[in-house]
């Protein structure tokens, strides 16, 4: 990718800008320049009626004749708006030689600055650029934004500009000022302005809010936020708000880059990823970080994959916060079982196949040994096994011992909801071998139960489920597995 353009808004008031060309396009450019308070100098053999009028009323100056370099004299910027490619080229290269930025209308290549598509509301301007490569897309977006922003935004921008010094004086500290603005903009003011509060009433309203606001250092707080499984579309509005108000974001490794991108740009991001071993030490570090940053008055977002209360140790973190009297909130997220099932086309419950759902973790030997396998072996239920990739052998062994049929369908959903999602399906009999064959990696969620077989017909996201490989003659399974395995493998093939 070539480097992107550097966006800027130029102050052209009382600055001379040369426009080469005297036709309709030049006229539009001159109009925009006049709007920005610039002093346009138009160079061309002749002028449109409007340009002529502006010349007569002294709003622009006219250099009559063919372009020559001398015209560039006092210009800060140049716009070449002729229909003659050779002239436009000459203007661009002369401007370049003098280090004057030049825009050649409809020629991104020759231009050293581009003029964006804009949406304007009072002093507020939203500029859109596609880098010159897709101006139609920029225009399309502009039209969409036009419908999103109503006129009251301009009034709001004017109100804030008018009261800028007042607000600064009340909140000299940047952090406190930012919080004040967040509260103000999240409050009723925008709505009141839409309902046509006049500017005097708006000033009064702002004054009242300013007087009522506390100006002391706010206490820090923690929002425990569930980031969902990876697809940024699955982040809740509350999570988005918290991420946009955060000073510090402590996130797990599991949180996708796409989701992190939604957070406030200047929030400090700290990855506190846990490894499978020695994670208790890590947990203490996380607690220490929460303490440190909240003591400094920061708003901390503790961002976790999925839901914070489903195998996320969110409970322990809240206990810690409570013990240290740190205020907190919890924003639930879409947990992996729910997301992976949806994105694999597996209804977790189904009147014909499953009446209950169990969320289980199988991340280490201990947790596997303490599970009630008889309860897990019950019919008509779905098991969603988290962190199970390493324990698949054990899961099969225990379930078979507890009497589960080797033909029970499973689906392993790797990177659920993300573009690289893969679903591997088969039956319990060959679960570890199938996973191994497809090299299923973490994060992956194991769904066991009759419903898992529905992925074959109901899948809709990404590729179809990958099936078990045909069994080699010298199957390495324990003998007691071999008998039921063969017909089932045939069924899966």
Helical (H) or strand (E) element with 117? strand 117-121
Beta bridge partners of 269: 249
Q: How far is the CB of 252 from ligand SAH (least distance, A)?
A: 8
Per DSSP, the residues of 389-440 read: GGGHHHHHHHHHHTT--TT-EEEEEESTTSTT-EEEEEEGGGHHHHHHHTT-
Distance CA 190, CA 197 (A): 10
Nearer to ligand SAH, 298 or 418 (CB): 418
Cα distance between the two ends of the chain? 44
Active site residues: 252, 274
Per DSSP, the residues of 206-272 read: HHHHHHHS--SPPPPEEEEEE-BSS-GGGS-HHHHHHHHH-SEEEE-TTS-HHHHTTS-TTSEEEE-
Q: How far is the CB of 388 from ligand SAH (least distance, A)?
A: 6
Nearer to ligand SAH, 87 or 447 (CB): 447
Cβ distance 345 to 459 under 8 Å?
A: yes
Q: How far is the CB of 259 from ligand SAH (least distance, A)?
A: 11
Chain residues that interact with ligand SAH, rule: CB under 6 A = 229-230, 254, 304-307, 310-312, 335-336, 340, 386-387, 413, 415-418, 442-445
Estimate to the nearest angstrom the gap between the alpha carbon of 451 and the chain centroid: 32
Residue 43 CA: distances (Å) to CA of 99, 243, 259, 284, 441: 19, 52, 51, 70, 66
Q: How far is the CB of 367 from ligand SAH (least distance, A)?
A: 12
Nearer to ligand SAH, 123 or 419 (CB): 419
CB closest to ligand SAH, residue no: 306
Q: How far is the CB of 91 from ligand SAH (least distance, A)?
A: 54
Nearer to ligand SAH, 216 or 277 (CB): 277
Nearer to ligand SAH, 96 or 283 (CB): 283
């Amino acid at each position: 990718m070539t480097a992107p353009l550097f966006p800027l808004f130029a102050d052209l008031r009382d600055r001379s800008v040369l426009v080469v060309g005297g036709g309709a396009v030049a006229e539009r450019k001159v109009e925009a320049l006049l709007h920005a308070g610039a002093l346009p100098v138009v160079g061309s053999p002749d002028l449109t009626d409007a340009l002529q009028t502006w010349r007569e009323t002294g709003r622009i100056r006219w250099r009559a004749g063919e372009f020559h370099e001398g015209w560039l004299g006092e210009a800060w910027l140049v716009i070449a708006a002729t229909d003659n490619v050779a002239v436009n080229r000459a203007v661009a290269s002369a401007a370049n030689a003098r280090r004057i930025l030049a825009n050649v209308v409809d020629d991104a290549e020759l231009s050293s600055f581009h003029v964006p598509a804009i949406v304007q509301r009072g002093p507020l301007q939203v500029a859109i650029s596609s880098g010159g490569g897709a101006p139609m897309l920029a225009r399309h977006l502009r039209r969409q934004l036009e419908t999103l922003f109503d006129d009251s935004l301009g009034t709001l921008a004017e109100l804030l500009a008018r009261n800028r010094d007042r607000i600064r004086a009340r909140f000299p500290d940047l952090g406190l000022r930012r919080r004040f603005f967040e509260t103000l903009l999240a409050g009723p003011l925008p709505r009141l302005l839409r309902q046509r509060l006049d500017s005097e009433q708006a000033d009064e309203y702002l004054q009242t809010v300013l007087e009522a606001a506390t100006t002391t250092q706010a206490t820090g707080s923690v929002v425990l936020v569930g980031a969902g499984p990876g697809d940024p579309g699955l982040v809740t509005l509350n999570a988005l708000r918290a991420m946009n108000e955060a000073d510090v974001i402590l996130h797990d490794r599991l949180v996708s880059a796409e989701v992190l991108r939604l957070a406030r740009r200047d929030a400090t991001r700290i990855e506190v990823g846990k490894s499978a071993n020695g994670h208790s030490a890590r947990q203490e570090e996380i607690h220490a970080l929460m303490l440190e940053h909240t003591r400094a008055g920061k708003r901390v977002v503790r961002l976790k994959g999925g839901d914070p209360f489903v195998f996320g140790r969110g409970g322990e973190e809240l206990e810690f916060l409570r013990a240290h009297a740190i205020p907190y909130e919890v924003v639930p997220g879409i947990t992996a079982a729910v997301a992976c099932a949806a994105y694999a086309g597996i209804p977790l419950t189904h009147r014909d196949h499953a009446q209950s759902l169990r969320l289980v973790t199988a991340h280490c030997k201990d947790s596997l040994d303490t599970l009630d396998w008889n309860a897990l072996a019950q019919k008509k239920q779905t098991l969603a096994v988290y962190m199970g990739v390493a324990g698949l052998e054990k899961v099969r062994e225990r379930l078979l011992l507890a009497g589960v049929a080797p033909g029970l369908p499973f689906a392993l959903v790797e990177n659920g909801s993300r573009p690289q999602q893969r679903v591997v399906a088969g039956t319990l009999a060959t679960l570890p071998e199938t996973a191994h064959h497809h090299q299923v990696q973490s994060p992956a969620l194991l769904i066991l139960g009759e419903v898992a077989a529905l992925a074959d017909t109901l899948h809709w996201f990404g590729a179809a489920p990958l099936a078990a490989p045909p069994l080699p003659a010298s199957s390495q399974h324990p003998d007691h597995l071999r008998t039921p395995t063969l017909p089932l493998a045939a069924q899966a093939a």
